[in-house]
Amino acid sequence: MKPRILVISNYNDFHTVRPEAEILLGLQRRGFGVDVMTYGGSEYARRFAEAGMKVIDFHPRHKFDRKECMRVRLALKEGAYDILQLFNSPAIVTGLRAARGLPVKVVLYRGYTGNIHWYDPTAYLKYLHPRVDAVICNSLGVEQLLKRQLFFRKEKAVTINKGHDLSWYAGTEPADLKAFGIPEGAFTVACVANNRPMKGVPWLLRSLRHLSPGLPLHLLLLGRDMDTPRNRALIRGSGYEDRVHFPGFVPEVLRVVKACNAFVLPSLFGESITKSVLEAMCLGIPPLITDIPGNLELVEEGVSGLVVPPRNPAALGLALERLVREPQLAEYLGKGARERIQGPLNHQRSVSGYAALYERLTALTHRAER
């Protein structure tokens, strides 16, 4: 008999949560009993219900609220679940408290490669809590981080990527880049990120100084807080001042990426496997990324993208120029990126990974009961 699972997560942002939500639907199709505790008004709450899953219209808003904890605990008792899957911070803290003393396996999710330390007392409220039976890591980089912090039972950390499916992006039509002031025939590179230090945008802008002059290159910085005095100062004197565009947040960003020739993400740290890179790969847009833990697992150098060291504007500039000067290479890498999604980064592999973990954990319970 397949395990019964209670999932607590927030599914309000459709595109952000799609890989996670589709895993749950995949498990339900494979015969697992999946109930979801989430905000009931979301599109995925409707899809869960249509798939025969029970949707509990509730999500904890605080980490230490007694009433919220009791509500989760009551659901666990009534549902007699085998697995409690917790995806975000309020769910993790509340769920761990609610599961105290109950015969349910508690599984957490971690999609970020920083900020877990054995000497930090708050870590023992979540990922280092002794009540945790497993932590699903979205990359080997996350798994390695956790194993360095776990004194006992390092096997708790298990890597299962949130894979994607090419069919999710099949209807994406390319946008008209003229709306951003980009001329026809230009080689356009997209960077989709909010301008946080970990994303390394200043290093990307510094790389423009390492380009040969006069390349038909345009750079689209898609995300919040990109158009800053500092970023403007970094491109001044590069020879490409009028080739860098700051449209900010764009609602239909996938259509814009689809219209570009390449995708770049110069991250410095903290990534797991970045969703924006995966989306570009699904669209057949070749990625240029840095070899930091997590993201390094996305791309095979020279096969499904290009990889350069972080904080190295010269190497980044060289890779950009190579893509501009060798359009056949960009096309080849774009095809390789889609093939990689169909292989190790495929959605069905993620569903199989979750299924195997849940069955292993419940098998351990049944053996212990004999």
Domain boundaries in the chain? 4-163+346-369, 167-342
pLDDT confidence of 370, banded at 50, 70, 90?
Answer: very low
Query: What is the structure's pLDDT at 271?
Result: 83
Looking at 49-58, 141-150, 214-223, 305-314, which range is the least confident one? 141-150
Same fold, 4-163+346-369 and 167-342: yes
**Beta pairing, strands 187-192 & 55-57:** unpaired
Report the candidate in 69, 12, 14, 2 with the shortest Cα–Cα distance to residue 275. 14
Helix (H, G, I), strand (E, B) or coil at 274: coil
| Band of residue 151 on the pLDDT scale cut at 50, 70, 90 | low
- Domain 4-163+346-369 sits in which CATH superfamily? Glycogen Phosphorylase B; (3.40.50.2000)
Q: pLDDT value at position 367?
A: 47
Are the beta carbons of 194 and 223 closer than 8 angstroms? Answer: yes
Lowest mean pLDDT across 49-53, 109-113, 252-256, 278-282: 109-113
Name, in order, each residue with C-beta under 8 angstroms of 11's C-beta and a sequence gap of 6 or more: 17, 20, 21, 36, 38, 39, 42, 43, 44, 45
Residue 288 confidence class, pLDDT cut points 50, 70, 90: very high
Helix (H) or strand (E) holding 353: helix 347-369
Angle, CA of 176, 252 and 17, to the nearest 5° = 150
The CATH code of the domain at 167-342 is 3.40.50.2000
Report whether pLDDT(136) > 50. yes
Q: What is the mean pLDDT of residues 38-47?
A: 95
pLDDT confidence tier of residue 127, bands split at 50, 70 and 90: confident
Of 67-71, 117-121, 150-154, 196-200, the one with minimum mean pLDDT is 150-154
For the chain, what percent of residues have pLDDT higher than 70? 98
